A and B are shown apart, each in its own frame.
Chain A
Amino acid sequence: MNAYVGTATSRVDGRAKVTGAAKYAGEFAADGLAHGFVVAATIPRGRIARLDTSETLKVKGVLDVLTHAHRPPLADKDEAWKDEVAPEEGSPFRPLYDDSIKFNGQPIALVVAEDWETAKFAATLVRVDYQEEQSFATDLEAERSKGAEVKQLHKPRGDAARALAGASVRHEADYFVPTEHHNPMELFATTTVWDGNGRLTVYDKTQGVQNVHKFLCSVFGKKPDDIRVLSPYVGGAFGSGLRPQYQVVLATLAALALERSVRVGLTRQQMYGLGHRPATIERVGLGAKPDGTLDAVTHEATAVTSRYEDFSRNDTGWAEQLYKSPNSRFSHKLVRLDVSTPCDMRAPGAASGVCALECAMDELAVALKLDPIELRLKSYSDRDQSEDLPYTSKQLRECYARGAEAFGWSRRNPAPRSMRDGKELVGWGMATGVWEALQMPVAARIVLTANGHAEVSCAASDIGTGTYTIVAQVAADALGLPIENISVRLADSTLPQAPVEGGSWMAASSAHAVLGAAEDIRQDLARLASTMPASPLGGVDAADVILVDGTISKNGDKGRAVSIADAMRYGKLERLEKQKLNQFAEDKSHARNTHSAVFAEVKVDEQLGVIRVTRVVSAVAAGRILNTKTGRSQIMGGVVWGIGMALHEETVMDHRFGRIMNPNIAEYHIPVNADIHDIDVIFVEERDDRINRLGVKGLGEIGIVGVPAAIANAVYHATGKRIRRFPITLDKLLD
């Protein structure tokens, strides 16, 4: 029965969030809580020659200053610092480990005081002398030639270079995506509570409590029972909380040093010293036959990484899933620079790589004098070409059709600068989006009590995406209970296993874990009910029994039912507890992806260059949508972010200092309400019986993919100017 799954169910944690009852990592109190403030390096590369804390320690209320030379022991092997999503290559950053400076903004000391303001003031008194390394570099474009090829994710097919050179119509260009930062609303913070005898309860802002738990145990040489990590609510993270961040190490280090509870909160400025979407040069080449079918695709990404870790994502190769082409070649190069290691940021790889691919497709359509949708349909691929596999489902064709219809695409005059509204040029652009439909092993526990209430628990985080709500929906349906009778506990490292919440895999993964545990509950209840004296379910096969409306009932015959409460009373059961680890069957015979078609209207003031995105239609095919309300919000958020990526977002660095110059949300621009107009989200029906039992694919990332390209293509259509350097700010249109 689906009373909740697939409906617009409001967030079960909504009230807690808007009333302030929901507590975040930096809000947990503890007796004798001390506060740590981070001192950050102001050079990009070198060594700490002298670190003088004597004035700091004189300040009343200061408890200690931790530095590389004054701290409890930390693990000395890279393996201990490698969390579950750390890059394979390299040595993870170790805060306060030694005197080396690897990036500007690196933490070099932690001032711990009785209160936050004292720590903050005392931190200004720490004196640092550096031995500066003069030969640092932070500019990707200047260092592009140093790009080194990383492991190829996609094998070349055919001879792309030759096909491209010989193509009757060819387009090849560089697209530049700058460094971007996640800027979640909630600031990074950790409250480490000293429970005595070396045991710690750690409230951390993270996308994965068990990842942080394992990491802390290995970094500090602790036994699993010594540390418990919780992150009940997360105010956005978008990838920045996938890896354990340095504040969790510092808070825990300080708690161990002082043997008392410590909170470390980062400022907005300090958060620019965490991970980021790496600046990337995307070089895309497309060759077409005279009829417009693709003959060659090349995509080479050159991206920034740090000097100490090789972070790379799948920027290239998305064309393998979208477009048929007999010849293709993909490569990913990394340039090691004096910056912190990049990290995943919403739709990592695809947000940048598909942006370049889809801008290039638009340029090819112009060169071929073809409608952009027609060009895409000519090479539409029903198979993932890199592995030559069919899809579990792929309703992209329907996304194009439904999106185009809702947008009114057929009324588009293809000529640039042909559409106007007063002083504004009007442009219509479109692009395709694609992401993976991943799923991971997750376990869930259900405790059903005789009063008809169930508690569902799992270590997964809800980073704001709505995991609490979909877990409650799936459990309510599977147990046949009203959603009010379901309580959900998440994000506690002692709860059943879950990986980090990322990659859009948590909806499908957690939902099926809940289904698995609920199935065991159902079987027990069916067995119990059938053995009751004069049971109406006597002789009914357990497989034919469902849980509905608080009863154990024969499927299709509500007359033959026993209430759950009666059955449990009969069995003298106060509670029925089941825990199940759900493992998805490995299926290498099909590719699994979500898709979208994004249509954007821009209006550009012809004289002043001011750009407005007045309409966006995003048609998404992502299997079954578990919750149309939170799902729509996910996609809308992705569209807003895509508008920011197209027009606003850029981490500005002064390469002379190797320093970020706009580390705040006044100067690092994201869209504000005034920049947002109509956003229409269409969920295209996509039945998928193969991918998993519920047919769920996940929605977190797909919302942003394609949006920046659709806007850039619309800007071209409006103005005739092709801007390949993001963000598209008005100065780029004034020339």
Chain B
Amino acid sequence: MINFQYSRATDVADAILLLAAHPGAKLIAGGTNLIDLMKENVEQPSRLIDISRLPLRKIEETADGGLRIGALVPNSDLAYHPLVEQRYPLLASAILAGASAQLRNMASVGGNLMQRTRCAYFYDTATPCNKQTPGSGCSAIDGRNRNHAILGTSASCIATNPSDMSVALAALGALVHIAGPSGERAMALTDFHRLPGDTPHIDTDLGTGEIITAIELPPRGFAHNYSYLKIRDRLSYAFALVSVAAALELEGDTISEARVALGGVAHKPWRSLEAETALRGQAATTDRFSRAADLLLRGATASSHNRFKIELARRAIVRTLTQAASATPQSQAHKKIA
């Protein structure tokens, strides 16, 4: 870890001013990922701007019946908030599928969106990585890539986004509220994270000097027919090989609205509007779910060690949609996959 300067922001405006005044500075809230990366010398910020005391810890209903979640709300508080448990249980479930209780207590909502890939080559300063040092090459493409991306990859990078929470947020159609030197803006969560392309070192469309202030959930919560299923190498405290967030609205046996997002398969939470359209107006059957899986996975490509993820994702999508349709969501507390 290198030495760094430390400032504490007094309010959002102050944080923006500090960011502008100190190129090379990074914001820190819970620090659950940033400090790990600093210990490995992967992140070497010249200064940390501590935003953990900013007044961004509220969870409030919006005028249209949605929910506005302050960027500093701890992951645990969000997962166990009564309004989230009642109206957005998919989000609660996805959060509880991630990390450990201790990490969820520390990690902030905004920080969760900013966490970086767990690609082993990115984490090791001794191996080439385009994310770490642009142009140095991707070690994963011909290396140990068992848990790398199968969708939206590029010749520069096959890393995945490790978040569980973001997968549910993508399915729920969340908005990200951002403040910066030129004012406030909002963007869809699905536009927030980028595909690697030839700039894999840029994870998100958060601009220089900007700060996430809140996440907004639209009113539709899919509280009845949902499931978050995470498949991993052990039953807790491991990153997803594949995860699926499924949310349905049913009229009788007919799907009136469908959302499916995948985690662990791409550089961002993966949605396919085509797949969701193909489910709408259809009966909730395994065949239809398989068809949706095909559409979601269209264009999937395997590297040397992760071919199994394509078939695993296909089966996980069908299982998760089945769980959602039957209103028997995957439990994150039971020691088994339902």
Q: Which stretch, A95-103, A594-602, A650-658, touches the partner chain B?
A: A650-658
Interface residues on A, range: 35 or more
Decide if A659 is an interface residue (CB 8 Å cutoff).
yes
Decide if B81 is an interface residue (CB 8 Å cutoff).
no
Measured between beta carbons, the chain B residues less than 8 angstroms from A648 are 233-234
Decide if B47 is an interface residue (CB 8 Å cutoff).
no
Check if A117 sits within 8 Å of B1, measured CB to CB: yes
Q: How far is it, in angstroms, between the C-alpha of A174 and the C-alpha of B146 when the chains are bound?
A: 23
Chain A contact residues, majority secondary structure: loop
Check if B126 sits within 8 Å of A659, measured CB to CB: yes
Quick one: CB contact mask for A656-675 with B, threshold 8 Å, 1 for yes?
11010110001101011111
Given contacts A610-B337, A731-B146, contact A675 B235 (CB under 8 A): yes
Decide if B63 is an interface residue (CB 8 Å cutoff).
no
Q: How far is it, in angstroms, between the C-alpha of A677 and the C-alpha of B335 when the chains are bound?
A: 8
Check if B335 sits within 8 Å of A674, measured CB to CB: yes
Q: Which of A666, A672, A673, A731 has the most CB of B within 10 A?
A: A731
Decide if B191 is an interface residue (CB 8 Å cutoff).
no
Q: How far is it, in angstroms, between the C-alpha of A603 and the C-alpha of B334 when the chains are bound?
A: 14
Decide if A531 is an interface residue (CB 8 Å cutoff).
no
Decide if A612 is an interface residue (CB 8 Å cutoff).
yes
Measured between beta carbons, the chain B residues less than 8 angstroms from A674 are 234-237, 335
Check if A608 sits within 8 Å of B315, measured CB to CB: yes
Measured between beta carbons, the chain B residues less than 8 angstroms from A673 are 236
Given contacts A656-B143, A673-B236, contact A730 B118 (CB under 8 A): no
Q: How far is it, in angstroms, between the C-alpha of A691 and the C-alpha of B143 when the chains are bound?
A: 52
Decide if A449 is an interface residue (CB 8 Å cutoff).
no
Check if B41 sits within 8 Å of A124, measured CB to CB: yes
Q: Which of A120, A647, A677 has the most CB of B within 10 A?
A: A120
Quick one: CB contact mask for B310-338 with A, threshold 8 Å, 1 for yes?
01100110110000000000000001111
Decide if A726 is an interface residue (CB 8 Å cutoff).
no
Measured between beta carbons, the chain A residues less than 8 angstroms from B338 are 423
Measured between beta carbons, the chain B residues less than 8 angstroms from A667 are 118, 120
Name B110-139 residues within 8 Å CB distance of A.
118, 120-121, 124, 126-127, 139
Quick one: CB contact mask for B205-232 with A, threshold 8 Å, 1 for yes?
0000000000000000000000000010
Measured between beta carbons, the chain B residues less than 8 angstroms from A610 are 231, 235, 337
Decide if A607 is an interface residue (CB 8 Å cutoff).
yes
Decide if A729 is an interface residue (CB 8 Å cutoff).
yes
Quick one: CB contact mask for B67-93 with A, threshold 8 Å, 1 for yes?
000000000000000000000000000
Check if B236 sits within 8 Å of A734, measured CB to CB: no
Check if B126 sits within 8 Å of A42, measured CB to CB: yes
Measured between beta carbons, the chain A residues less than 8 angstroms from B144 are 652, 654, 661
Quick one: CB contact mask for B233-247 with A, threshold 8 Å, 1 for yes?
111111001000000
Given contacts A607-B315, A608-B319, A609-B312, contact A662 B120 (CB under 8 A): yes
Check if B124 sits within 8 Å of A659, measured CB to CB: yes
Quick one: CB contact mask for A673-716 with B, threshold 8 Å, 1 for yes?
11101000000000000000000000000000000000000000
Q: How far is the CB of A471 from chain B (nearest CB, A)?
A: 36
Check if A731 sits within 8 Å of B234, measured CB to CB: no
Decide if B6 is an interface residue (CB 8 Å cutoff).
no
Check if A654 sits within 8 Å of B311, measured CB to CB: no
Q: How far is it, in angstroms, between the C-alpha of A661 and the C-alpha of B335 when the chains are bound?
A: 29
Q: How far is the CB of A481 from chain B (nearest CB, A)?
A: 43
Which single residue of chain B is at the shortest CB-CB distance from A421?
B336
Q: How far is it, in angstroms, between the C-alpha of A656 and the C-alpha of B141 when the chains are bound?
A: 13
Decide if A605 is an interface residue (CB 8 Å cutoff).
yes
Given contacts A657-B126, A674-B335, contact A612 B143 (CB under 8 A): no
Measured between beta carbons, the chain B residues less than 8 angstroms from A584 are none
The interface of chain B, by Cβ under 8 A from chain A, is 1-3, 39-41, 118, 120-121, 124, 126-127, 139, 142-144, 146, 231, 233-238, 241, 308-309, 311-312, 315-316, 318-319, 335-338
The 30 sampled A-B contact pairs (Cβ below 8 Å) are: A267-B39, A269-B40, A423-B337, A424-B336, A608-B312, A610-B235, A612-B335, A612-B336, A647-B234, A648-B233, A648-B234, A652-B144, A656-B143, A657-B126, A661-B124, A661-B143, A661-B144, A662-B120, A666-B237, A669-B233, A671-B234, A672-B237, A673-B236, A674-B234, A674-B237, A675-B235, A730-B241, A731-B309, A731-B312, A734-B311
The interface of chain A, by Cβ under 8 A from chain B, is 42, 117, 120-121, 124, 267, 269, 423-424, 603, 605, 607-610, 612, 647-648, 652, 654, 656-657, 659, 661-662, 666-667, 669, 671-675, 677, 729-731, 734-735
